[in-house]
Amino acid sequence: MREVDDVDAVRMLNRQREYLVSISCGFSLPELLVVMTTITTLIAILLPSLGRSREQARRLACASNLRQLGFGLKMYAIDNSGWYPVEKLCGNPQSALTGSLFPCYVANRNIFYCPSAPAIEPYAQSNEYGGPGGDSVVNTDENWEASYISYKYFSITRRDTRMPLPLRLCEYPHLLKDDSASRRWLMSDWVRKHVPVFAHLEKGGWGGGRNVLFADTSVQFVRHRTPGAF
């Protein structure tokens, strides 16, 4: 009887060994290559979709920032006879805007910075696109102290040749109030006259556009550069 048990035990061990061998050798080399190719293809398909989803989330967060800035400007105007803050030029530094809104009307400094700003930071820093260079649009302590933000503000006293504002010289100063025409641009994502990209890109880097805050505090994603609505 003991011999029978020993034989059964040996058979069981052999079956276990064969099973383990079958697992370790379950895929042939061609099969492994097919699996690896399939995985690589799936990654190549999914990565652009994930990138677009992340950019879509950043665009929505940016639109929320601009809408909150619009509400802050409206509240500021209520306390200042309907007038918005006025900057000298349409671009950094924007101390009149930040000083007027923060912290009384906009309590969080992060709202002044677009989540997609790092994508256009190299262009803001460059002097190759019709500007002096050295601009910065990302959220750092140094930028905040210097009133460098991500957005352009359009209530200004003097023309800024870096900007594609389709206004005649006689239309300056360009001062905006809380009763300005609803389709007037109040703020927008950063832009410069000859920069070839927008803050929010689409289709793998081609196309895209920028979020625009209008005088009625609505926010719209605009794909064209100079719609003549300033």
Structural domain contains residue 103: yes
Q: Domain total for the chain?
A: 1
**pLDDT confidence of residue 50:** 46
Return the closest-CA partner of residue 187 out of 207, 168, 163: 163
Structural domain contains residue 112: yes
Rounded to a whole number, what is the distance in angstroms from the first to the last CA of the chain?
100
**Residue count of the chain:** 230
**pLDDT confidence of residue 107:** 96
Structural domain contains residue 182: yes
Given a contact cutoff of 8 angstroms between Cβ atoms, the answer to whether 117 and 150 are in contact is yes
Q: Is 227 helix (H, G, I), strand (E, B) or coil?
A: coil
Strand partners, 156: 87, 174
113: containing domain = 57-222
Span 93-135, pLDDT tens digits: 999 999 999 999 999 999 999 999 998 999 999 988 777 778 9
The C-alpha atoms of residue 111 and residue 107 are separated, in whole angstroms, by: 9
The C-alpha atoms of residue 124 and residue 131 are separated, in whole angstroms, by: 8
Structural domain contains residue 7: no
Average pLDDT over residues 62-84: 96
Structural domain contains residue 1: no
How many Cα atoms are found within 13 Å in the side-chain-facing hemisphere of 125? 9
Structural domain contains residue 21: no
**pLDDT confidence of residue 208:** 81
Structural domain contains residue 25: no
Span 23-41, pLDDT tens digits: 555 556 665 666 566 666 6
How many Cα atoms are found within 13 Å in the side-chain-facing hemisphere of 112? 32
Structural domain contains residue 230: no
